Amino acid sequence: MKILSPADKKKNTVCNLIMFAALIAVLIYIDATSLSVDMIVKVLQKGCVYAIVVVSMNLLNGFTGLFSLGQAGFMLIGAYMYSVFSVDNASREMVYSFSGKPVINFQLPIIVAIILAGLAAALFSFLIGLPVLKLKSDYLAIATLGFAEILRTIIQWDKFGRVTNGSFPISQLNTFKARLADTAFAKMSFVIPFFIVAVICIGIITLMIHSTYGRAFKAIRDDEVAAEAMGINLAKHKMISFVTSSFFAGIGGALYAVFVGSTNAAPFTSALTYEILLIVVIGGIGSITGSILASFLYIASQEWWLRGLDSGTFMGITSPIFRNGFRLVVFSVIIMIFVLFFRNGIMGDREFSSLGIYRAIKNLPGKIAGKFKKSKAEVQE
Amino acid sequence: MESVLRLCDITMQFGGVIAVNNLSMEVNKGEIVALIGPNGAGKTTAFNAITGVYEPTNGAIYYKDKLVISNKPRGKMKKLYAGENNGKYHTVMSKTPDKLTKLGMARTFQNIRLFKSMTVFENVLTAKHLRRKSNLFTATFHLNYKEEAKMRAETLELLELVDLLDVKDELATSLPYGKQRKLEIARALATNPELLLLDEPAAGMNPQETEELTEFIRTVREKFDITILLIEHHMNLVMDISDRIYVIDFGKEIAEGTPAEIQSNQKVIDAYLGVAEEDE
Between positions 28 and 87 of B, the ones with CB within 8 A of A are 51
Choose the mutation target among A213, A215, A239 for the interface with B, i.e. most B CBs under 10 Å.
A215
Average pLDDT along chain A: 86
Distance of CA B201 to the CA centre of its chain: 10
Say if the Cβ atoms of B114 and A226 lie within 8 Å.
yes
pLDDT at res. B25: 92
Given a cut of 50, whether residue B17 has pLDDT beyond it is yes
Q: Give the whole-angstrom CA distance, residue B18 versus residue B33.
A: 24
Choose the mutation target among B48, B136, B147, B187 for the interface with A, i.e. most A CBs under 10 Å.
B136
Q: Closest partner residue to B113 among A216, A226, A231, by Cβ?
A: A226
Average pLDDT on B5-13 reads: 91
pLDDT at res. A45: 92
Give A231's contacts in chain B (Cβ within 8 Å). 98, 101-102, 127, 129-130, 191
Name the residue with higher pLDDT: A331 or B166: B166
Q: Give the whole-angstrom CA distance, residue A351 versus residue A275.
A: 22
Whose CA is closest to B181, among B216, B155, B157? B216
Which contiguous run of DSSP H or E holds residue A322? none
Local structure of residue A61 (DSSP, 8 states): I
Strands (E), A213-341: 313-314, 317-318
Give B97's contacts in chain A (Cβ within 8 Å). 228-229
- Per-residue pLDDT tens for B20-40? 998 999 999 999 999 998 888
Residue B171 pairs in a beta bridge with B119
pLDDT at res. B244: 93
Give A230's contacts in chain B (Cβ within 8 Å). 98, 101, 106, 126-127, 129-130, 187-188, 191
CA angle A41, A42, A46 (to 5 degrees): 120
Residue B245 CA neighbour count, 13 Å, CB half: 26
Phi, psi of B93 (to 5 degrees): -150, 130
Q: Closest partner residue to A231 among B109, B134, B191, by Cβ?
A: B191
Distance from CA of A214 to the nearest CA of B (A): 9
Given a cut of 60, whether residue A3 has pLDDT beyond it is no
Say if the Cβ atoms of B113 and A234 lie within 8 Å.
no
pLDDT at res. A234: 93
Given a cut of 50, whether residue B177 has pLDDT beyond it is yes
**Spatial CB neighbours of B234, under 8 Å, sequence gap ≥ 6:** B202, B205, B210
Give B130's contacts in chain A (Cβ within 8 Å). 230-232
Q: What is the ipTM of this complex?
A: 0.90
- Per-residue pLDDT tens for A183-202? 777 777 788 889 999 999 99
Q: What DSSP line would sit under A7-57, residue for residue?
A: HHHHHHHHHHHHHHHHHHHHHHHHHHH--TT-HHHHHHHHHHHHHHHHHHH
Residues for chain A: how many in total?
Answer: 381
Residue B256 pairs in a beta bridge with B246
Q: Give the whole-angstrom CA distance, residue A46 versus residue A259.
A: 7
Whose CA is closest to B122, among B161, B151, B160? B151
Integer CA distances (angstroms), B34 to B29, B47, B201, B261, in order: 14, 11, 11, 14
* Residue A170 confidence class, pLDDT cut points 50, 70, 90: confident
Say if the Cβ atoms of A231 and B102 lie within 8 Å.
yes
Do residues A96 and A104 lie in contact, with contact meaning Cβ atoms separated by under 8 Å?
Answer: no
Chain A CB within 8 Å of residue B124 CB: no
Average pLDDT on A333-360 reads: 78
Q: Give the whole-angstrom CA distance, residue B137 versus residue B139.
A: 5
- Per-residue pLDDT tens for A61-100? 999 999 999 999 999 999 999 999 988 888 888 888 888 8
- Per-residue pLDDT tens for B100-136? 999 999 999 988 999 999 999 999 999 999 999 888 8
A234: closest chain B residue by CA = B98
A350-354, B19-23, B152-156: range with lowest mean pLDDT = A350-354
Which contiguous run of DSSP H or E holds residue B61? strand B58-63
pLDDT at res. B78: 84
* Residue A376 confidence class, pLDDT cut points 50, 70, 90: low
Task: Provide the percentage of residues in chain B whose pLDDT is more than 90.
Answer: 54
- Per-residue pLDDT tens for B84-108? 888 888 888 889 999 999 999 999 9
Say if the Cβ atoms of A222 and B118 lie within 8 Å.
yes
Q: Are strands B32-36 and B227-231 parallel, antiparallel or unpaired?
A: parallel
Side chain identity at A136, as an amino acid letter?
K
Which contiguous run of DSSP H or E holds residue B21? strand B17-28
Q: Closest partner residue to A207 among B140, B151, B191, by Cβ?
A: B140
Chain B CB within 8 Å of residue A200 CB: no
CA angle B191, B202, B197 (to 5 degrees): 30
Whose CA is closest to B92, among B77, B106, B80, B82? B77
A212: closest chain B residue by CA = B129
* Residue A1 confidence class, pLDDT cut points 50, 70, 90: very low
Whose CA is closest to B50, among B3, B97, B114? B97
Chain A CB within 8 Å of residue B145 CB: no
Whose CA is closest to B110, among A285, A279, A229, A108? A229
Say if the Cβ atoms of B101 and A211 lie within 8 Å.
no
Cβ burial A140-149 (10 Å sphere, 16+ → b, else e): bbebbbbbbb
Chain B CB within 8 Å of residue A360 CB: no
Whose CA is closest to B183, among A230, A5, A2? A230
Distance from CA of A204 to the nearest CA of B (A): 7
pLDDT at res. B180: 93
Q: Give the whole-angstrom CA distance, residue B6 versus residue A275.
A: 55
pLDDT at res. A92: 82
Whole-structure pTM value: 0.89
- Strand B66-71: give its sheet, edge to edge: B17-28, B3-14, B58-63, B66-71
Q: Give the whole-angstrom CA distance, residue B68 versus residue B60.
A: 8
Question: 3-state DSSP: chain A helix, strand, coil percent, rounded to 5?
Answer: 70, 0, 25
Name the residue with higher pLDDT: A376 or A45: A45
Given a cut of 50, whether residue B204 has pLDDT beyond it is yes
Domains of chain B: 1-103+195-203+227-280 (3.40.50.300), 105-192 (3.40.50.300)
* Residue A56 confidence class, pLDDT cut points 50, 70, 90: very high
Chain A CB within 8 Å of residue B127 CB: yes
Whose CA is closest to B230, among B219, B217, B215, B220? B217
Q: Closest partner residue to B115 among A223, A240, A286, by Cβ?
A: A223
pLDDT at res. A175: 81
